[in-house]
A and B are shown apart, each in its own frame.
Chain A
Amino acid sequence: MPPMTTTPGGLLLVLAVLVPFVGVLAAFALGGRNAQRVAMGTMLAGLGIAIAVAAAVARSGDALVYLLGGWGVPLGIALRADGLAVVMILAVAVVIVGIGAYARADFGTPPGVREARAPLVFWTLLLAIWGSLNLVFVSGDLFTLYVALELLTFAAVPLVSLDGRAETLRAALRYLLYALLGSILYLLGTVLLYGVYGTLDIALLAARVQPEPATLAAAALMTAGLLAKTALFPLHLWLPPAHAGAPPAASAVLSGLVIKGSWFLVVRLWFDVFPDVVTAPSAQLLAGLGAAAILVGNVVALRQARLKLMVAYSTVAQIGYLFLMFPLALDPASARLEGGGALAGGMMHAVSHATAKAAMFMAAGVIYAALGHDRIAGLAGIGRVLPVSVLAFTLGGVSLIGLPPSGGFLAKWLLLAAAVATGQWWWAAVMLVGGLLTAGYVFLVLARALASGAEAPALRAPIPRSQEAVALALALGSMLLGLVAFTGVHLLGIGR
């Protein structure tokens, strides 16, 4: 392998991480109303940087690399953006900007007050989550990834308990305890790897790892820790109360984006560090947990009486799809993980779920604010008074179900094709049953919302049209994401 050097445009990666964190510091230092202004400015800059990174990678056809301080690996630390990282950076930037636009109505500092706690915390932590996620995507070594993961946790946990009620504090504490368990297991695995191979750089490790007991133990510890953070069944118990109890804009961030950070790290580990080490049974186990998540999450979602809890349990199920790709990517001939159609399907699912789930939580938030409750039984006739939100919720749901031309359709198409090509029909069956169950709870809401005989409910509060518009825009984005099949999928393979 040629020694890595900083590529032209490599500085963009530093900016992608640094700009949100500079925003955090500025927002915190200036405080009050200025926090929101800083956040808005940072979002515009960050979106521009994300687009520039994608353009640079697409133009050069190779990964962007930046060596911090000019020190080469293994002494120094490299930031590296391949196709996977670029796709995630772009998706996160779009969703964060959408969430920022949505949250303006909920987290404005009230007039006459110099500074309010919830808005200040929300805007600073939103930027912190963004910077941490970008760091997760571009980090080239396992310890930097650990720090990024911890930053992500510290930024995400307080968002759960923004309203300060006992119920949400409990949910936040439970989330934090799961996350701490996960990160300490990850760190333990990292130490073991350093002890055996003397490096934590992903590219160097990939060339050195051997299937020996210490490596397997490290891989198992790190994966288990990350599963706890990603809330894969059966480690999902913290997720529904945390995601359903948070304010809608925070739920959209947590459910759409934050869980993707630790999931992305599992992908990095399995595909980039341990592709030769992972065994077929372990990949089947991961997908088996995913299948259990799909079935249990969907069935429990169907039984929920409240809309936000239903959407949260739907996240539990959708996380399952993210793990189905591992055995499908296993090349039967070489017994090695190959990043082909299955990996593209998994990535596509992550992006499509990020946009769709953010839109659904936003729509659920609008409905909650308008009615003063989110009991599904009490939604009759809501389609007549909040048509845009119901449409956004439905389009998001349709993308989760996987109808064309949605991103969910393309993701499932790629995963199904990989399942057929590798002869693993049982995962195809799980995907189809999961799609049916998802359709069940989406239609359950839709049937209530569009009930013809029902009297339209009175709205308790006026709804900002901008919030409905943002939810619809993200849902439409998820709906049309499948069209990138014609142009954008090759981006994923760059630099791999």
Chain B
Amino acid sequence: MTDAATLFGLLAAALVGIGLYALIVNPQPLRKIVAFNVVGNGVFMLFGAIAHRGAGSGWGGDPVPQALLITGLVVAFPASALAIALLLRLHDVAGSATLATDAPAPVSPDGKAADA
């Protein structure tokens, strides 16, 4: 039998795995941002599992990971917001929202092609 903390830890690991896979294989930036949030949720869930496991007697959970979790959320939110803002601006300016450099650069075709 597994206890709740172990179960949540395993689920967290699964979320991280799914998110990392999506982050790496999906070429669209929006999907990458969503995938980053999936990984982030996995990490935050792990925070919760560890807080639960480390609870002292009479406590619902170890308060330190809970405090870290809240800070982590506060940091992850502007990260996603900044990424979305950049993506929206890119869509406004370029008319598409892909990371692929479609047109070859005017001055140095070989230098740019290596980055694509």
Q: Do A and B come from one complex?
A: yes
Residues of A within 8 A of B (CB): 143, 146-147, 150, 153-154, 157-158, 161, 164-167, 169-170, 172-174, 176-177, 180-181, 183-184, 187-188, 191-192, 194-195, 198, 237, 240-241, 300, 303-306, 309, 373, 375
Sample of 4 further A-B pairs with CB below 8 A, known A169-B93, A170-B94: A173-B90, A183-B79, A184-B39, A191-B65
Task: Say yes or no: B90 contacts A170, CB within 8 Å.
Answer: yes
In whole angstroms, how far apart are the Cα atoms of A431 and B12 in the complex?
43
Q: A166-B94, A177-B36, A191-B46 are in contact. Are A154 and B78 (CB under 8 A)?
A: yes
**B32-62 interface code vs A (CB 8 A; 1 in, 0 out):** 1100100110110011001001100000000
Q: A154-B79, A164-B93, A176-B83 are in contact. Are A191 and B107 (CB under 8 A)?
A: no
Instruction: Indicate which residue in B83, B105, B110 contacts A177 across the interface (CB closer than 8 Å).
Output: B83
Instruction: Point out the residues of chain A lying under 8 angstroms from B101, CB to CB.
Output: 167, 170
Instruction: Point out the residues of chain A lying under 8 angstroms from B1, CB to CB.
Output: none
A458 CB to closest chain B CB, in angstroms? Answer: 20
Indicate whether B108 reaches chain A with its CB closer than 8 angstroms.
yes
Indicate whether B99 reaches chain A with its CB closer than 8 angstroms.
yes
Instruction: Point out the residues of chain B lying under 8 angstroms from A174, CB to CB.
Output: 99
Instruction: Point out the residues of chain B lying under 8 angstroms from A375, CB to CB.
Output: 107-108
B103 CB to closest chain A CB, in angstroms? Answer: 10
Q: A143-B71, A188-B43 are in contact. Are A170 and B99 (CB under 8 A)?
A: yes
Residue in chain B with minimal CB distance to A313: B111
Instruction: Point out the residues of chain A lying under 8 angstroms from B72, CB to CB.
Output: 146, 187
Task: Say yes or no: A180 contacts B83, CB within 8 Å.
Answer: yes
The number of A-B residue pairs with CB atoms under 8 Å apart is 109
25 CB contacts below 8 A, A to B, read A143-B68, A146-B75, A150-B75, A153-B79, A154-B79, A161-B89, A167-B101, A169-B86, A169-B90, A170-B99, A173-B83, A173-B87, A184-B36, A184-B43, A187-B43, A188-B39, A188-B42, A188-B46, A191-B65, A194-B64, A195-B53, A240-B115, A306-B107, A306-B111, A309-B108
Residue in chain B with minimal CB distance to A191: B46
Instruction: Point out the residues of chain A lying under 8 angstroms from B78, CB to CB.
Output: 154
In whole angstroms, how far apart are the Cα atoms of A187 and B110 in the complex?
37
Task: Say yes or no: B83 contacts A305, CB within 8 Å.
Answer: no
Task: Say yes or no: B94 contacts A194, CB within 8 Å.
Answer: no
In whole angstroms, how far apart are the Cα atoms of A174 and B114 in the complex?
15
Task: Say yes or no: B79 contacts A173, CB within 8 Å.
Answer: no
Residues of B within 8 A of A (CB): 16, 23, 29, 32-33, 36, 39-40, 42-43, 46-47, 50, 53-54, 64-65, 68, 71-72, 75-76, 78-79, 82-83, 86-87, 89-90, 93-94, 99, 101, 105, 107-108, 110-112, 114-115
Task: Say yes or no: A309 contacts B111, CB within 8 Å.
Answer: yes
Q: A169-B89, A191-B50, A198-B54 are in contact. Are A180 and B36 (CB under 8 A)?
A: yes
* 4 tightest A-B CB contacts, nearest first: A166-B94, A195-B50, A305-B108, A169-B90
Instruction: Point out the residues of chain A lying under 8 angstroms from B33, CB to CB.
Output: 177
Task: Say yes or no: B114 contacts A157, CB within 8 Å.
Answer: no
In whole angstroms, how far apart are the Cα atoms of A303 and B109 in the complex?
12
In whole angstroms, how far apart are the Cα atoms of A198 and B56 in the complex?
12
Most chain-B CB neighbours within 10 Å: which of A146, A187, A375? A187
Instruction: Point out the residues of chain B lying under 8 angstroms from A169, CB to CB.
Output: 86, 89-90, 93-94
Instruction: Indicate which residue in B36, B65, B87, B111 contacts A304 across the interface (CB closer than 8 Å).
Output: B111
Residue in chain B with minimal CB distance to A171: B115
Q: A154-B79, A174-B99 are in contact. Are A300 and B114 (CB under 8 A)?
A: yes
